[in-house]
Amino acid sequence: MRIRTIEDYHEAYKDSIEDPKTFWAAIAQEFRWKKPWTKVLDWSFDDYNVKWFRNGKLNITENCLDRHAENKPNHPALIWEPNDPEDEPEIITYKVLLDRVCRFANVLKKHGVTKGDRVCIYMPMIPELAVAVLACARIGAIHSVIFGGFSAQSISDRINDSQCELVVTTDGAVRGAKNIPMKETVDDALVACPSVKKVIVATHTRTPVSMIKGRDYWWESEVKHVEAECPAEEMDSEDPLFILYTSGSTGKPKGVVHTCGGYMVFTSYTFENVFQYHPGDVFFCTADVGWITGHSYLVYGPLLSGAITVMFEGIPTYPDAGRLWDIVDRHKVNILYTAPTAIRSLMGFGLEYLEGKDLSSLKVLGSVGEPINEEAWHWYNDHIGKGKCPIVDTWWQTETGGIMISPLAGITKTKPSYATLPLPGVQLELVDENGSTIEGNGVNGNLCITYPWPSIIRTTWGDHERCKSTYFSTYPGKYFTGDGCMRDEDGYYRITGRVDDVLNVSGHRIGTAEVENAINSHTGVVESAVVGYPHDVKGQGVHAFVICEEPQDEDSMMKRDILMTVSRIIGPIAKPDKIQIVSGLPKTRSGKIMRRILRKIAEGEYNNLGDTSTLLDPGVVDEIVKGAKEL
Ligand code: 7RM
């Protein structure tokens, strides 16, 4: 379905509310199904259970690849831009991509992977990553992609949670000027992963690696010895497609499960409508495939729609802060989808990095992952879009699978820092602390969704109760997003940020409890509390308040060792920006840490701490304020 005008939007929205099943069935029938569904939707948000396109059979890779390889075999599917701008980009057509996916699918089969098995993918942003993901989907294996910035410990926790049997990785990775030892990290992880039987290693950096006989195999030699054809496994619409781990308010990340049919329908529908993709447009999503944005809008959404998708191995600041603009220029990118943190960071380097870059191919700009502040919005609009590219500020979550609130490019009137309006098919509600619906405009509340959409999270792997209690119990009968939200006088939505203990650091979701657990595992640490504070580039920074067994001097080894511990346990992305050693934490008489006070202190709002009289030891606050000022 294609919405082209604001009238279309309002009409589609109305239809989607009045008769959601008919609305989604019409979109779903645009895809290739091996067997039609018998019922569009079964659902309950009370005893959480959602099933879309019941008994429908399909394979998502037939829709991503075969359809297009038949119609336009030589059309580019993936453009790969290497880390080093001196290296050659790679252009992979639909025909070739299908071929490579089928070969690797046969490799997985040869190593015993079958439908329903879990496969862990830990790779840099190279074409083999997309190939590995799609090869799993081809044979019905459930992929669990782990972002390359996670530590060995994080990898093994995730592998063990979902009992992966096979891992796909590379010898090494390069990001900017850094070399990253991928296989070595996997080896460290596997010491604690008895479920893993095989490891497939793609050669990329030629970093020396250890290869264990009978367990470890080279990608390049494996693909030589298999057939080029691989039939697409018949999957039920509700069979799991992938697991993606994401942080919540507890110490343990959850494995968000998405299923084949609904995820396919929703990612393609949102891709085409939000970005107003036209055949032949070059689409560049800068997110890593290790995050949901990379899954939905680098791999699946664009390929389902037969688009040209750009994958960039490196970072926006290498070799200099003009790299993204070089890529736009070089590949004539029409649609750029990136995160506010990247915009803010590049903004800081100044306009000289835009000199001589031809950005005239750009038609649409997108933003995702965190609220975009007005300054960054205007910079993006004026200097990248040259005032002629609509900006789509897309709000969504790992759990929603695809974009939920966003302007439709060139159709919805935009407003800086507003995600604007829900897509047709998305039913929002704002609720107050008591769970009562907040009606009308010019209001603030907690953002809920009251009706299922096709790519809603189905479960958290291995623990359905956790899924129910995390998302469907705060406000019974509604999906609770964890975000605060304003609806302005025009009925436009503006996300104000998380209302739980989840941080958003450079667009990466990090649970404060996870960071605290990591810090607390460091020797000599008694207790810690982690909060976020506004950070000019990262959006949020991480401020850790730590109680140690022994008194510490200002630049003690302790702080550096804590950073190393967090890096080891979670990954460098979770390293606190500030560590403040304190002698106590503000606690209530029942022993609960008053995070509200710590947040205020971290934000620098020292004079507005609210009522501290109920604290066990009010004096501790003065000491923490003093320490924070000195930091
Ligand atoms: C896509 C993604 C989800 C959280 C979400 C929000 C925040 C995402 C926006 C945003 C304001 C946006 N998935 N968030 N997009 N906040 N405006 N356009 O990021 O699972 O990793 O994070 O990110 O808090 O709940 S995620």
Residue 525 and residue 397 in one domain: no
- Helices assigned H by DSSP within 350-449: 374-379
- Closest residue by Cα to atom 19, ligand 1, is 369
Q: Are residues 377 and 514 in the same domain?
A: no
Specify the pLDDT at position 615: 86
Q: Is 453 within the bounds of a domain?
A: no
Measured CA to CA, the distance from residue 54 to residue 42 in angstroms comes to: 8
pLDDT value of position 618? 83
Q: Is 122 exposed, middle or buried (0-12, 13-18, 19+ CB in 10 A)?
A: buried
pLDDT tens-place string over residues 93-122: 999 999 999 999 999 999 999 999 999 999
pLDDT value for 537 = 95
Cβ of residue 292 lying under 6 Å from some atom of ligand 1: yes
Last residue of a domain, one of 383, 418, 453: 418
Please report the atom of ligand 1 found closest to the CA of residue 502.
Answer: 24
Looking at the structure, do residues 393 and 246 belong to the same domain, yes or no?
A: yes
Phi, psi of 177 (to 5 degrees): -90, 0
Looking at the CA of residue 498, tell me the nearest atom of ligand 1.
24
- Which residue stretches of the chain have pLDDT < 50? none
- What is the number of the ligand 1 atom nearest to the C-alpha of 398? 20
Within a domain: 161:
yes
State in Å: Cα 557 to ligand 1 middle. Answer: 35
- Same domain (yes/no): 542, 403: no
**Residue 148 placed within a domain:** yes
The verdict on 519 and 414 lying in the same domain is no
Tell me which residue has tokens 């947040």.
599
Q: Which amino acid would we find at residue 417?
A: S
What is the reported pLDDT for 555?
67
Residue closest via CA to ligand 1's atom 8 equals 369
435 within a domain of the structure (yes/no): no
* Domain match, 226 and 345 both: yes
Same domain, 303 and 401: yes
Is there a domain that residue 496 lies in?
Answer: no
| The three-state (H, E, C) secondary structure of 498-552, written as one string | ECCCEEEECCEEEEHHHHHHHHHCCCCEEEEEEEEEEECCCEEEEEEEEEECCCC
Query: Which residue range(s) make up the domain with 531?
Result: 508-630
Choosing from 388, 418, 448, the residue where a domain stops is 418
CA distance 629 to 631: 6
Shared domain for 124 and 224, answered yes or no, is yes
Query: What pLDDT does residue 589 have?
Result: 87
Separate counts of helices (H) and strands (E) for the chain: 20, 30
| Distance between Cα 215 and ligand 1 center (Å) | 38
Question: Ligand 1: does its nearest atom lie under 6 Å from the Cβ of 381?
Answer: no
**Is residue 148 in contact with ligand 1, taking CB distance under 6 Å?**
no
Quick one: 399 and 547 in the same domain? no
Domain containing 277 — which CATH number? 3.40.50.12780
Atom of ligand 1 nearest to the CA of 393: 18
**Residue 468 placed within a domain:** no
Domain stops at, among 418, 447, 470? 418
What CATH number has the domain bearing residue 543? 3.30.300.30
Q: What is the pLDDT of residue 554?
A: 66
Q: Which pLDDT score is estimated for 211?
A: 98
Calculate how far, in angstroms, residue 484's C-alpha sits from the geometric centre of ligand 1: 11
- Note whether residue 429 is domain-resident: no
Q: What is the pTM (predicted TM-score) of this model?
A: 0.97
Ligand 1 centroid–CA 605 distance in Å is 25
Domain count of the fold of the chain: 2
Cβ of 199: how many Cβ atoms within 10 Å?
21
Looking at ligand 1, which residue's alpha carbon is closest to its atom 11?
Answer: 371
For residue 434, being part of any structural domain is answered with no
**Residue 51 β-bridge partners:** 42
